[in-house]
A and B are shown apart, each in its own frame.
Chain A
Amino acid sequence: MKKYLKLFFTTLYISAFTFGGGYVIVSLMKKKFSDELHWIDDDEMLDLVAIAQSSPGAVAVNASLLVGKKIGGIVGALVAIIATIIPPFVIMTVISHFYQAFAANEFVAIALKAMQAGVLIVIADVVITLSMKIIAEKRIFPIVMIVLAFVATYFLKINLIYIILVCGFIGGISEYVHKKVVVAEKVIDTQEEIIDNQESYIENLEEKIQSLENELDQVETTDNENNGGKN
């Protein structure tokens, strides 16, 4: 119960401040649910964003359904959806009654303009964190994919669905190849290790043989000396 309340109020709080579309709410959800509350990890969050983005409808509603489901099952999903809808619903209901006065209000326009920079800060922060994580893997392909997907979206304005489908396909193949390479490298590593082990084992044996021979020599010399003493 306490979890559902927390989910409800966190989602409500996020939704009330989501100016500027789905990606802002997704960035805020990542900060709240993953960084702060640890209810969901970064990778899973990105998967859910991909699903939310590639389905029809509002990204914010889709994302809250998925995050809510992950956190609290079907009840969690319902709680999160309702909490996401309430703020825009209430605000729009009020505004639609006297919208002309609202749209013409200079102070409102200034405050909203000022808030753009804040929205930008939050998105930039999330982008920096997530891309540093991918760059830290030190693999060329994911980094190339970030650049290409960015060019395709921002400059070429290609439909997001196609980008997600194509990147999912290519990314899947790349992961498959990468895993094979990693496995092959591991096999080579273990075999090299085995060879190393055997080489050092042989060295050890040789050393032992050497020391035994030395001992034998010594024994023989003392034997000879003793025998010589007797004779």
Chain B
Amino acid sequence: MSVLLELFFSFIQVGLFSIGGGLAAMPIIQGQVVDLHGWLTLTEFTDLVTIAEMTPGPIAINAATFVGTQIAGLPGAIVATLGCILPSCIIVAILGYLYFKFKNIKAIQGVLKGLRPAVVALIASAGLTIMSLAFFGENGTVSLGNTNFVSVGIFAVGIVIIRKFKIDPILIMIGSGVVGTIIYLLL
């Protein structure tokens, strides 16, 4: 029981302090899971990061499920995941409530409208990070020899298809995966 409680409170802290999403949460998870509680070794933790990046879903949730399962089986996974999402759900619920209640106030509308270009820029920035990873690999050196032409080709064809035809984005992703895998295996 005490282990479950410890998991729960540990991941509440992860959920509360991981601001900015994605890999920004990793140091906090490491602090709780490796340094403070010793639930995972550093090697296991590195494996966890790799797996979390290879599988769908937010890294914090992946980590919570993984650590929870390792420490206390399915109940551990459930408790850790709930702890992880609880703080942000409360905070976002409050902010969301305020947004839906006050978004028609002119001053708020002005701020929100003024903020939209910045949000587009944030999405673009995330896109460019992925582009660098997909085109030039992990070290990111931009050179002809280091370019992954399979990714570049799939991207070029895919972006034309998705802009020209209204097609399910997930189909595009799966399609890219299938085509890419076939090409990689043939090469």
Which A residues lie at the B interface, using CB under 8 A?
13-24, 26-28, 31-32, 35-36, 43, 46-62, 65-66, 69-70, 77, 81, 84-85, 87-89, 91-93, 95-97, 99-100, 102-103, 107-128, 130-131, 134, 142-143, 145-150, 153-154, 159-161, 163-164, 167-176, 179
Contacts and interface: CB of A to CB of B under 8 A. Distances in A.
Contact of B119 (A53, A95, A124): A53
The 9 A-B pairs of least Cβ separation, nearest first, read A171-B114, A57-B88, A114-B180, A88-B57, A118-B176, A58-B58, A167-B118, A149-B121, A118-B173
Given A13-B170, A92-B65, A115-B173, A160 B56 contact: no
- Dominant secondary structure of chain B at its interface with chain A: helix
Given A21-B58, A22-B58, A69 B65 contact: no
A92 B176 contact: no
Given A43-B113, A134-B117, A120 B131 contact: yes
Contacts of A19: 54-56, 173
A58 B112 CA distance: 21
Contact of A92 (B62, B95, B134): B62
B51 interface: yes
B95 A55 contact: yes
Interface stretch (B2-10, B17-25, B31-39, B139-147): B17-25
B133 A116 contact: yes
Given A56-B88, A117-B180, A89 B81 contact: yes
B125 A154 contact: yes
A56 B114 contact: no
Given A112-B54, A118-B154, A122-B162, A52 B92 contact: yes
Contacts of B159: 121, 124-125
B51 A174 contact: no
Contacts of B95: 51, 55
Chain B, interface residues (CB within 8 Å), range: 35 or more
Interface of B: 15-23, 25, 47-48, 50-62, 65-66, 69-70, 74, 77, 81, 84-85, 87-89, 91-93, 95-96, 99-100, 103, 107, 109-131, 133-134, 150-152, 154-155, 158-159, 162-163, 166, 169-170, 172-181, 183-185
Given A92-B62, A123-B126, 16 more contacts: A43-B112, A51-B96, A53-B122, A58-B59, A66-B96, A88-B56, A89-B77, A110-B185, A114-B150, A114-B176, A117-B150, A120-B131, A122-B172, A128-B163, A150-B125, A167-B115
